[in-house]
Structure 1
Amino acid sequence: MTTEPAHDPRPAFVRALDQAEQQVAAVSPGELGKRTPCADYDVRALLGHVVSVLHKLERAGSGGDARGVPDVAEGIADDGWARAFAEARGEAERVWAGDGQLDRMVELPWATLRGRDALEAYTHEFTAHSWDLAHATGRLAELDPDLGARALEGFSKFAPPEERSEQGPFSPVVPVADDADVYTRLAAYLGRRP
């Protein structure tokens, strides 16, 4: 009897980071004050959040407590977001490069998961935040539809509608047309108003 090898989430994670990094690098200082579909986040705060998420992943992957990392990184210069993202990404990818990380239990601010499940969840988070940035800055045409489809499927497991309220990170599902593109459906599923 043979067993199937466990799924490695890192290739999709890298693609999601590539997409997010492209969106981060495209933001100009004049766009930092624009509103995003994320409640309470303008573009600057959302950039601070995605940088902070990378620091949380690095800390959790190193065996530390990611709850000690703030939700939004601050003190980054208006023209320093691309560099801050790239540096934090490098640290996170270095920590998660070893295969042993994937089956180790990691402590995240919202759950304790196997490493592979944590990376899968954060792949979907970076995909959703790429849409948030693209929506706020008018760069929607640059998004990878396969990542959007994966995130839509993944969030149906990680964030089922029946477990949500107005106070959580995901609002109730917003209705959209059946023929809406995958990112519109993803945003609506997460409670954003595309």
Structure 2
Amino acid sequence: MSGIEDPRPLLRRGTDGMSTLVERVSPERLAAPTPCTEFDVRGLLEHVLTMTLSYVHLGEGAVDSDDAEAAPVHVDDRQWPTAYREAAERLDKAWAEAASLERSMSMPWGAVDGRGALLGCLLDTVTHSWDLARALGTTVAPDEELAATTLEVAREIMPAERRGGATPFAPVRPVSEDAPASTRLAAWLGRDPEWTPERSG
């Protein structure tokens, strides 16, 4: 899948970027809307943390995404940066052995090896970083090189025709071909590329 031999360095860049954004979340912003319309900022952070911990469980030996699913998290309003940073560190440790990339796993998009599973984690992490950055109105620049790589992964894992039903993504949104890679990634996964907090209502 995608020709990426080792997704771990890419994923580490993704979790580093997410950590930078989570550091900027004040308690007052937790109820703010996000481009991932089913979540406010708190709900998005809960989803991202739970997702990250599920991939920790896969790295630690689980072979089915259903068995690896983490319990819902409950975090004090001021502890989100610490909670996410610790989860990202656990993720690194869980996948530290190269052999973990070769294990067979069952994911919602099919049977893959550990390499393919981590690409799913990369996709979620980078996409939700865009969601969080837009929700916060931050000036932190996206990692566009990472976003471009993740867009390639998204087109493979989540093709345009695979929408609706149990698939948690809306249809692909139109966006200029010369738009930033992070914006094209968001549009590919059904986000409004022009979303702002002011337009969310």
Is the TM value for this pair above 0.5?
Answer: yes
Aligned pairs (5 A) from 1:135-150: 135-139=134-138, 141-150=140-149
Q: Structure 1: how far apart are the matches of 2:14 and 2:66?
A: 23
Match in the other structure for 2:47 = 49
1:84 counterpart SS class: helix
**After TM superposition, what 4+ stretches of structure 1 lie above 6 angstroms from structure 2?**
none
Gap change, CA 1:68 and 1:77, over 3 Å in 2: farther
Deviates more, 1:111-120 or 1:130-139: 111-120
Q: Is the counterpart of residue 76 in structure 1 residue 75 in structure 2? A: yes
Distance apart, 1:141 and its partner CA: 3.9
Match in the other structure for 1:88 = 87
Cα RMSD for the two superposed structures: 2.1
Match in the other structure for 2:199 = none
Q: What amino acid is the match of 2:155?
A: S
5+ long unaligned stretches in structure 2: 194-201
Match in the other structure for 2:113 = 114
Normalised TM-score (structure 2): 0.86
Summarize deviations over 1:130-171 as a string: whole Å, max 9, x none: 000001001254210011101111100000011112752111
Match in the other structure for 2:34 = 36
1:106 counterpart SS class: strand
Gap change, CA 1:167 and 1:58, over 3 Å in 2: closer
Gap change, CA 1:167 and 1:108, over 3 Å in 2: closer
Gap change, CA 1:128 and 1:150, over 3 Å in 2: same
Distance apart, 1:182 and its partner CA: 1.4
Q: Structure 2: how far apart are the matches of 1:81 and 1:24?
A: 7
Gap change, CA 1:7 and 1:50, over 3 Å in 2: same
5+ long unaligned stretches in structure 1: none
Deviates more, 1:60-69 or 1:150-159: 60-69
1:10 to 8, 11, 17: 8
How many aligned positions are there?
A: 190
Mapped contact 1:36–1:136 kept (Cα < 8 A):
yes
Q: Structure 2: how far apart are the matches of 1:173 and 1:36?
A: 18
Q: Structure 2: how far apart are the matches of 1:119 and 1:36?
A: 24
Distance apart, 1:39 and its partner CA: 2.6
1:132 counterpart SS class: helix
Percent identity of equivalent pairs? 38
